[in-house]
Amino acid sequence: MKKFIVLSACLLAGLEMLHAQQELQVKKNRLIKGIYFQWGYNVDAYSRSDIHFKMSNGDNFTLHNVRAHDSGDFDAILKKPTEISIPQYNYRIGFYLNDKRSKAIEINFDHTKYIVTDGQTARVTGIIDGKPVEGDSVLNPKTFLHLEHTDGANWLHINYVQFYTAFQNHARTRSLVKYLWKAGAGINIPRTDFTWRGDRLNNKFHVAGYNISTEAGARLYPFKRIFLEVTGKTGYVRYVNALANTTASKGNRVSHGFTYLEAIATLGFDINL
C-alpha cells in the first residue's frame, strides 16, 4: 500500500511538473504578450488643400489652396460629461509582441473635425452652371458652398509601435517613463456635412479614402498599469469620395487631400495575459 501511495505521489508530481512546463512553453510561444487600451483627446492643424467637386447637375470645379480648421468642443466635457465622444477624441487598442513590451501592434482611431473656413476667398476653376470659370469667390454656405467633416474626419489605421525605456523605479522592476514612436496606415470613415447654395446634404458614414501617419511621444506610468501618453502626430489624408453615392448626397462627389499636425493626450491601462 505504501509503495502504491509513493508511486501515485510521484506520478502526480511528475504530471504537475509536465503541466507547468507546458504552460511555460505556451507562454513563450504566445504571440500576444499583453494588451493595452487608451482613450483621450486631440487638437489639430491642417494644411491648405485643393478640393474637387463633381456635381450631379454637371458642375465640375476645384477650389484651390483652401484653409480649414478643427473644432475641439472641449467645453462639452464640462457641460455634458457623460457624452465623452462629443470632443475630438482618440482611442487605441494595442497588442504587445514581446515580453519586454518594447514592440506592439495598435488599432488606432482618431475622431477629428475638419471645417473649411467660411468667408475666405478662394480661386475657383472648372465648370459651373455650364460655363467655364476661373477666378476668386467667397466661400459662403448660402450663396455658394460649405464643407466640413465634423461628425468625424475619422481616421482608422493600424500602427506599428516601438517603445524605449527612459526611466525605471529604484528597484528597476517597472518603467516610469517610456519614449515611443509609431507608424501606420489605414482608411477614412467620415460623415461629411456639405452645403451647396443653401441646400444642406448631411451624408452617412462610409469608407471614403486612406491615410498614412507617424507619431512620437512619451508614456508616464504613475502606477504599474495605468499610464498617461502624450504624443505629436503628422500624416497625409486623402478623401477619394467624401460623399457616399446615396440619395442624401444627390450624386455629388467631393475629393481632396491634406497634411496635418495633431497633438494627442490619452489615458491608458495595461492588461497582462
Q: In the structure grid, which three cell numbers stand for residue 260, read together?
A: 496635418
Global pTM reads 0.86
Question: Would you state the CATH architecture of domain 31-272?
Answer: Beta Barrel (2.40)
Beta bridge partners of residue 148, listed in sequence order: 115, 193
Three-class DSSP category at 252: coil
Q: In the structure grid, which three cell numbers stand for residue 242, read together?
A: 467624401
pLDDT tens for each residue of 212-249: 999 999 999 999 999 999 999 999 999 999 987 665 56
Q: In the structure grid, which three cell numbers stand for residue 273, read together?
A: 495575459
Cα separation, 223 vs 95, whole angstroms: 20
Domain ranges in the chain? 1-30, 31-272
Q: What is the mean pLDDT of the chain?
A: 89
Cα separation, 86 vs 54, whole angstroms: 31
Sheet of 68-69, strands arranged across: 68-69, 114-116, 145-149, 193-196, 199-202
CB 142 within 8 A of CB 174: no
pLDDT tens for each residue of 41-65: 999 999 999 999 998 889 999 999 9
User: What is the H or E stretch that residue 217 is in?
Assistant: strand 209-220
